[in-house]
């Protein structure tokens, strides 16, 4: 049974679109039709299917379209072409190092983040101890988060995410700052969720060893196209040689 | 889209409350002295306007202090909610928007809820004034009824303006200016009486309907004119639909632009 089916999606971004954002500028551009219209193709006809209980790694250089792909799967962006079919609740952490509210305590942040990830208040209270325990931050529950290190923040966010009852986990560079121990522990926990609850996982990472070790399959994306797909060891090997 | 909104309504409210709570804690950093600041603005505004206008503009207006105070606090909810709506999405939540697909409407709803909360303190102040001027407190119950469509209007308006801010970077500056014009155009410290031009302008001003309705019912204990009631309900419904429409049209594009 498939959790995620992505069919022939394409996505373009308009470059230079971000600037000239004021109303007057927009009017002038619209009237003179002289605006910069440079486009880059971020994803070009990408199709993937991921089954229940499967862990898939996505690798590729910076700017190859990995995060954009995850955002389209999560429903944050809309693809220009193609279809996405989702079966289950998505929990996504995409380049999220700074999502917490620094001036709030860890406890408040757990409630805020849990709610953002679609947990009910009751559910958060039930899972609160698990979250704190897994993050190993028991001593800091009432500490404001601005005093946390980057690794601690990452640990906290990750602990909330895996306790938010996911069916699908989209993880983008979540292990790049954590220490070795926590990384191992997290990977084990993910494995556990995959085996017991049939969770499907997409892991985007530059830590190729992680991909090799924990993913059933890997997908290599280059310039918005799938370059190679298959056994994670083979794909990582191919990527290393062709970099 | 509408079905979607109704199904998600519970989630939108649940998250909206959590966000409002978090924002409230952020604003006050654990101290409740902040409530004092909510009241300072309307009190000072009231005191200065009363000092300046009570002898001339307010001369013909019955129970002018109540008339003035109610106008000020009602305008204040509208002003502070919409001004916050033009800055909040970009300011505090761009990373979360790009990472998690939570219902975006909650961000706007949280601003509305937070401002309703601080409005309740202004309302307490207004109750004290009602007692002082020997007006029946019963009117406050009517006020709650009026406030429902008023809050819906503010929510719809804020939805539209918050998402437009992402597309037009100078929207917040324009809105600061526009809100000042509306403040002057709305009969808050004066009454329209026989000024036709002003009256016609105010027919297009949703705030006019809500404020007039509240004053009639709460201060003067009389039934507002029919066009006022229908105008208020109409604007409330129109802006809810308009706001949801604009917001839903643009919310996916918004994530790409922040």
Is the residue at A79 inside a domain? yes
- Give the phi and the psi of residue A58 in degrees, each rounded to 5: -120, 125
Q: What is the ipTM of this complex?
A: 0.88
pTM attached to this predicted model: 0.91
Q: What is the reported pLDDT for A68?
A: 93
Number of domains chain B is built from: 1
Report if residue A56 sits inside a domain: yes
Q: Which of B85, B53, B82, B88 is nearest to B69 (CA)?
A: B53
Which CATH number does the domain housing residue A110 bear?
Answer: 3.40.50.300
CA dihedral A31, A33, A34, A39 (to 10 degrees): 140
Residue A183 pLDDT: 87
For residue A200, the number of C-alpha atoms closer than 13 Å in the C-beta half-sphere is 19
Cα–Cα distance measured from residue A234 to residue A183, given in angstroms and rounded to the nearest whole number: 23
Phi-psi region of B235 (alpha: psi -120 to 50; beta: other; left: phi over 0): alpha
Task: Determine phi and psi for B13, rounding to 5 degrees.
Answer: -70, -45
Q: Does the beta carbon of B90 lie under 8 angstroms from any beta carbon of chain A?
A: no
- Which residues from chain A sit within 8 angstroms of residue B25, using beta carbons? 104, 108
B177 part of contact set with chain A, CB < 8 Å: no
| Strand spans (E) along chain B | none
Percent residues over pLDDT 70 in chain A: 93
Range of the domain at A102: 2-10+48-242
Burial tier of B62 (Cβ tally within 10 Å: 0-12, 13-18, 19+): exposed
Q: Which ranges of chain B have pLDDT less than 50?
A: none
Residue B99 to residue A117, Cβ atoms within 8 A: no
CB contact under 8 A, B99 and A99: yes
**Phi-psi label, residue B118: left if phi above 0, alpha if psi -120 to 50, beta otherwise:** alpha
Average pLDDT score over residue span A37-50: 88
Distance from CA of A117 to the nearest CA of B (A): 7
Q: What is the number of CB-based contacts under 8 A between chain A and chain B?
A: 87
Question: B8: nearest CA in chain A?
Answer: A118
Q: What does the pLDDT read at residue A102?
A: 86
Predicted pLDDT of residue A55:
93
pLDDT tens column, A67-123: 999 999 999 999 999 999 999 999 999 876 667 888 899 999 999 999 999 999 999
Q: Is B10 touching A (CB cutoff 8 A)? A: no
With H, G, I as helix, E, B as strand and everything else as coil, classify residue A81. Answer: strand
pLDDT on residue A176? 76
Tokens read off for B11: 């989630």
Contact A115 B168 (CB under 8 A): no
| Residue A149 maps to a domain | yes
Instruction: Please report the sign of the dihedral spanned by the C-alpha atoms of residue A14, residue A20, residue A23, residue A29.
Output: negative
Task: Please compute Rg for chain A using Cα positions.
Answer: 20
C-alpha–C-alpha distance, residues B68 and B47, integer Å: 10
pLDDT in tens, A5-36: 999 999 988 776 555 567 777 777 776 665 55
Number of separate domains in chain A: 1
Q: Is residue A39 part of a domain?
A: no
Integer CA distances (angstroms), B68 to A9, B65, B212, in order: 58, 5, 12
Chain-chain contact of B18 with A22 (C-beta, under 8 angstroms): no
SS3 of residue B82 by DSSP: helix
Q: Which domain holds residue B226?
A: 2-257
Report the SS3 class of residue B49.
Answer: helix
Per-residue pLDDT at B40: 87
Is A38 a member of any domain? no
- pLDDT confidence bin for A171, thresholds 50/70/90: very high
- DSSP annotation of B218: I
How far A101 CA sits from the closest chain B CA (Å)?
Answer: 8
Specify if A27 maps to a domain.
no
- For chain A, give the percent of residues with pLDDT over 90: 62
A115·B170 Cβ contact <8 A: no
Interchain pair B99, A101: CB under 8 A: no
Give me A185's structure tokens. 């522990």
- A17 to A25, B81, B174: CA distances (angstroms): 11, 29, 21
Q: What is the pLDDT of residue B168?
A: 84
pLDDT of residue B174: 92
Contact A74 B256 (CB under 8 A): no
């Amino acid at each position: 049974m498939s959790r995620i089916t992505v069919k022939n999606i394409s996505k373009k971004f308009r470059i230079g679109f971000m600037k000239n954002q004021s109303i007057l500028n927009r009017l002038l551009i619209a009237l003179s039709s002289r605006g910069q219209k440079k486009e880059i193709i971020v994803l070009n006809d990408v199709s993937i299917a991921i089954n229940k209980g499967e862990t898939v790694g996505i690798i590729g250089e910076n700017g190859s379209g990995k995060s954009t792909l995850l955002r389209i799967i999560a429903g944050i962006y809309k693809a220009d072409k193609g279809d996405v079919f989702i079966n289950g609740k998505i929990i996504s952490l995409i380049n999220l190092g700074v999502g917490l509210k620094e001036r709030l305590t860890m406890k408040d942040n757990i409630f805020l983040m849990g709610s953002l990830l679609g947990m009910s208040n009751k559910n958060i209270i039930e899972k609160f101890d698990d979250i704190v325990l897994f993050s190993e931050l028991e001593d800091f529950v009432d500490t404001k988060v601005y005093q946390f290190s980057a690794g601690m923040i990452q640990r906290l966010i990750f602990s909330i995410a895996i306790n938010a009852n996911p069916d699908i986990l989209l993880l983008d560079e979540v292990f790049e700052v954590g220490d070795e121990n926590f990384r191992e522990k997290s990977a084990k926990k993910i494995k556990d969720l995959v085996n017991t609850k049939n969770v499907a996982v997409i892991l985007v990472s530059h830590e190729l060893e992680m991909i090799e070790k924990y993913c059933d399959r890997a997908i290599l994306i280059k310039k918005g196209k799938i370059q190679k797909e298959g056994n994670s060891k083979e794909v990582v090997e191919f990527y290393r040689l062709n970099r | 889209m509408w079905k979607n909104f109704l199904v998600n309504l519970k989630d939108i409210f649940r998250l909206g409350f959590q966000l409002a709570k978090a924002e409230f804690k952020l604003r006050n950093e654990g101290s409740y002295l902040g409530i004092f600041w909510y009241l300072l603005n309307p009190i000072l505004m009231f005191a200065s306007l009363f000092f300046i206008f009570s002898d001339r503009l307010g001369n013909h207006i019955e129970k002018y202090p109540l008339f003035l105070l109610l106008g000020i606090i009602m305008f204040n909810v509208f002003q502070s909610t919409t001004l916050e709506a033009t800055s909040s999405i970009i300011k505090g939540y761009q990373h979360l928007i790009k990472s998690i697909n939570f219902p975006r409407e909650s961000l706007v709803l949280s601003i509305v809820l937070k401002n309703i909360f601080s409005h309740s303190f202004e309302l307490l102040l207004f109750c004290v004034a009602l007692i002082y001027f020997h007006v029946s407190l019963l009117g406050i119950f009517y006020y709650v009824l009026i406030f429902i469509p008023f809050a819906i209007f503010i929510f719809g308006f804020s939805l539209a303006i918050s998402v437009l801010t992402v597309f037009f970077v100078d929207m917040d500056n324009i809105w600061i200016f526009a809100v000042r014009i509306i403040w002057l155009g709305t009969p808050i410290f004066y009454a329209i009486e026989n000024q036709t031009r002003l009256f016609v302008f105010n027919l297009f001003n949703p705030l006019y309907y809500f404020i007039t309705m509240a004053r009639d019912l709460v201060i003067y204990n009389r039934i507002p004119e029919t066009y006022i009631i229908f105008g208020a309900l109409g604007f409330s419904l129109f802006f809810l639909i308009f706001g949801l429409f604009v917001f839903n049209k643009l919310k996916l594009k918004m994530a790409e632009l922040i």
